């Protein structure tokens, strides 16, 4: 009877094992090529049990996206200590982000690539996570602006744009770091800080990059509105 007992696990534990296996297979093979047979085998359960618990390949994939999106957002939030200066908070947040994506490359492939590459309803799941991270970064930039007493100088729209740029840069860099042998999470975070903070830092110090004169030949932008700087 002991042998039977060790095989019996609570449903919640079994489900997590199935999700572990599914994230690995979806991340490495891609959503289309991933087979439920392979996922069941890797999880050490029967395929009917996977369907009984998770219903369908689509629902299993959605459950993977939800779990991994939650884990990533929690890792970033847990990495930040709100009592520090804004640049240190950003460094810690980026460190936590790149450490998490480096430790969970299959989960990152699911979120960054697979979930966006197979239409709805998967793309919406990732969009929700992304909006949460953009809101978090927006608060960090606003805190930095307050610290630098630049609060009124930076219009809300500029802050929103900077947050979008920062998140896009970090997403792109995480995909590159995971695909490039030998790039550590710390190196990726340091590159990102060099790019983002030394940049945001100049901005907070009231030293934006100055665009050339409107009349100058060779400027290729279509609109003639004033630069936000």
Residue 134 CA to residue 151 CA, distance in Å, equals 19
- Of the pair 48, 211, the CB lying nearest a copy of itself is at 211
C-beta of residue 26 within 8 angstroms of C-beta of residue 34: yes
Could you tell me the smallest distance in angstroms from the CB atom of residue 190 to a copy of itself?
4
Residue 114 CA to residue 60 CA, distance in Å, equals 13
Q: Is 206 in the site for a copy of itself (CB under 8 A)?
A: no
C-beta of residue 136 within 8 angstroms of C-beta of residue 90: no
C-beta of residue 43 within 8 angstroms of C-beta of residue 13: no
Q: Is 225 in the site for a copy of itself (CB under 8 A)?
A: yes
Could you tell me the smallest distance in angstroms from the CB atom of residue 84 to a copy of itself?
7
Q: Under 8 Å CB-to-CB from 150, ≥6 apart: which residues?
A: 203, 204, 206
Cβ atoms within 10 A of the Cβ of 78, count?
Answer: 12
Among 11, 88, 146, 149, indicate the residue that binds a copy of itself (CB under 8 A): 88
Structure tokens at 51: 């369907």
- Of the pair 84, 128, the CB lying nearest a copy of itself is at 84
C-beta of residue 18 within 8 angstroms of C-beta of residue 53: yes
Structure tokens at 159: 């802050």
Number of residues engaging a copy of itself in binding (CB under 8 A):
81
Residue where the block lists tokens 């697979």: 114
Q: Which of residues 158-187 bind a copy of itself (CB under 8 A)?
A: 158, 160-162, 164-173, 175-177, 180, 182-187
C-beta of residue 43 within 8 angstroms of C-beta of residue 50: yes
Among 6, 7, 156, 220, indicate the residue that binds a copy of itself (CB under 8 A): 220
Stretch binding a copy of itself (CB under 8 A), from 19-27, 34-42, 57-65, 217-225: 217-225
- Of the pair 43, 145, the CB lying nearest a copy of itself is at 145
Could you tell me the smallest distance in angstroms from the CB atom of residue 148 to a copy of itself?
13
Q: Which of residues 21-80 bind a copy of itself (CB under 8 A)?
A: 30-32, 75, 78-79
- Of the pair 128, 227, the CB lying nearest a copy of itself is at 227
Q: Which of residues 101-160 bind a copy of itself (CB under 8 A)?
A: 102-103, 116-119, 123, 157-158, 160
- Of the pair 49, 169, the CB lying nearest a copy of itself is at 169
Dihedral sign for Cα 178, 182, 187, 192, please. negative
Structure tokens at 30: 């891609």
Could you tell me the smallest distance in angstroms from the CB atom of residue 223 to a copy of itself?
4
């Amino acid at each position: 009877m002991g042998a039977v007992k060790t095989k019996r696990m609570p449903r919640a534990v079994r489900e997590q094992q199935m999700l572990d296996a599914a994230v690995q297979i979806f991340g490495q093979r891609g959503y289309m090529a991933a087979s439920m047979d392979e996922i069941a085998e890797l999880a050490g359960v029967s395929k009917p049990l996977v369907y009984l618990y998770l219903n369908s390949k689509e629902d299993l994939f959605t459950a993977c996206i939800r779990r991994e999106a939650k884990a990533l957002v929690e890792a970033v939030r847990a990495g930040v200590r709100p009592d520090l200066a804004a640049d240190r908070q950003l460094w810690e947040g980026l460190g936590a982000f790149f450490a998490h994506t480096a430790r969970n490359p299959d989960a990152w492939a699911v979120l960054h690539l697979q979930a966006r590459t197979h239409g709805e309803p998967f793309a919406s799941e990732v969009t929700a996570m992304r909006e949460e991270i953009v809101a978090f970064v927006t608060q960090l930039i606003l805190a930095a602006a307050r610290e630098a007493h630049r609060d009124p100088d930076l219009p809300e729209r500029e802050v929103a744009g900077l947050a979008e740029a920062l998140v896009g840069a970090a997403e792109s860099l995480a995909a590159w770091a995971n695909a490039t042998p030998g790039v550590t999470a710390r190196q990726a975070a340091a590159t990102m800080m060099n790019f983002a903070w030394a940049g945001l830092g100049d901005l907070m110090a009231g030293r934006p990059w100055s665009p050339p004169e409107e009349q100058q030949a060779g400027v290729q932008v279509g609109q003639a509105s004033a630069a936000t700087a």
